[in-house]
Structure 1
Amino acid sequence: MTDIVLRDVDDILADRIRRVADRRGWDLPHTLLHLLERGLHVCEDEGAVRFDSDESEVLQQALEALRGVPDDPGYSLIGRVRPPPGREGAES
């Protein structure tokens, strides 16, 4: 495995890395490797969340089930926004 050497790291960043290591009970090399791997995943995926096919199917089924919730004055309105008076049917 290649050694990773960080030079000219400011004190604040070094302290943040040490705090992660302390919280997790890891040594600094393990912590740096973990943070580098996670950071690469975020940069490569540009922060996108991806589901595998099983997760996507379950999520789609849950969304379909939610569409079937009857229109009542309470529960089914959670998360829905009614248009202001006089704007019913107006396009956004």
Structure 2
Amino acid sequence: MTDLTIHNIRPKLDERLRRLADLQGFTVDEVAIEALSIGVDAIEDRVRKHLLNTREQVALKEAIDQIQKVPDAAFGMIGKLPPRG
């Protein structure tokens, strides 16, 4: 495993990590690694959602626009027919 040193941790965060370690019988390092892992996963999810709402959304719209230009009655009607029922 790679070592990582983190400087300037807020005192309240340090206290929370130490308390969680003590409550679970883990080392502060073990709790910090778990917290980092969960936090990185959450940040990656947020970034993915942001990318989907920007770059990928533009690409999807462009693809749909191109599909709608296809001179075929079936493809050209994608998204244009009212729902049945």
Q: TM-score, normalised by structure 1?
A: 0.46
Q: Which is helix-richer, 1 or 2?
A: 2
TM-score (ref. length: structure 2): 0.49
Indicate the structure whose relative CO is greater, using CA pairs within 8 Å and at least 6 residues apart: 2
